[in-house]
């Protein structure tokens, strides 16, 4: 029996639009609720969300019965963290702060078993292999791993074409919030300078033959990114859904609060 087919990776390869939702609350209950909403993918955030390996495992178990794909984002692209994320069952990873093709190539190696890579072989004791019940896991796991690299700095922007062209990189995610800050427009990803940079990056990613993605909570920006050719877009966050819903309900009963007006897209 081979490793489970990665439907998200297949959809990206075929150019089918995939709509996602960010998960930063580190809650299996929240994850379960969001998994039933009909999104194509959920991003489990270990960079900014208070997530460790144990909490991520519980969220993976919570969403397992649903037809939604779990994408994991470790806090940084370290080999040992990538190994742990893959071993607990993530087949798709989104790695932040990727700036060069050499860095992207090293991430590819971290996602693959020897001799093609350097992922540690511990399949006999991990969730990803069904605790060694998937007999062909070691022979089939590599092909089902989907590696998305996140470009969000000026250096990454300069190198985005080479990063996208790296063999084994399955897609490039533009981090609009950090990119906006890097370009001198912190908190304003909709600024024309930032939008021009994203437009150029998406075009270069497309010319490299790879899908581009991003996150936005502003409907106008979501529409713009889709028009530019982004094929996987996260359209909101669990935090914003709860906070805005709570704000609206409180305001309805005369208990409004002031809040930031900045776009919190990652």
By annotation, the residues acting in catalysis are 48
Instruction: Write phi, then psi, for 150 (nearest 5 degrees).
Output: -105, 120
Q: How many CB atoms lie within 10 A of CB 64?
A: 12
Size of the chain, expressed as the number of residues it contains: 266
Residues 144, 53, 216, 193, CA torsion sign? negative
Residue 167 burial (10 A CB sphere; 0-12, 13-18, 19+): exposed
Residue 101 to residues 31, 71, 224, Cα–Cα distance (Å): 33, 22, 27
């Amino acid at each position: 029996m081979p490793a489970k087919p990665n439907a998200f990776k297949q959809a990206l390869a075929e150019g089918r639009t995939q709509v996602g939702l960010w998960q930063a609350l580190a809650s299996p209950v929240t994850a379960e609720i969001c998994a039933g909403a009909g999104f194509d993918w959920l991003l489990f955030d270990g960079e900014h969300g208070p997530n460790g390996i144990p909490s991520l495992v519980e969220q993976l178990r919570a969403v397992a019965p649903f037809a939604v794909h779990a994408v994991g984002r470790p806090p940084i692209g370290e080999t040992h963290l990538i190994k742990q994320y893959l071993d607990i069952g993530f087949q798709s990873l989104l790695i932040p702060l990727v700036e060069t093709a050499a860095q992207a190539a090293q991430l590819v190696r971290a996602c693959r078993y020897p001799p093609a890579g350097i992922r540690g072989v511990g399949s006999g004791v991990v969730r990803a292999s069904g605790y060694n019940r998937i007999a062909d896991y070691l022979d089939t796991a590599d092909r089902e791993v989907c590696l998305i690299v996140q470009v969000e700095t000026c250096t990454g922007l300069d190198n985005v074409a080479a990063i996208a062209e790296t063999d084994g990189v399955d897609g490039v995610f533009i981090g609009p919030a950090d990119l906006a800050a890097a370009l001198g427009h912190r908190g304003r990803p909709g600024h024309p300078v930032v939008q021009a940079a994203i437009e150029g990056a998406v075009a270069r990613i497309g010319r490299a033959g790879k899908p581009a993605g991003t996150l936005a909570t502003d409907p106008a920006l979501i529409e713009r990114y889709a028009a530019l050719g982004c094929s996987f877009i996260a359209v909101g966050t669990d935090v914003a859904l709860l906070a805005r819903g709570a704000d609206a309900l409180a305001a309805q009963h005369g208990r409004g609060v002031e809040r930031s007006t900045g776009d919190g897209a990652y």
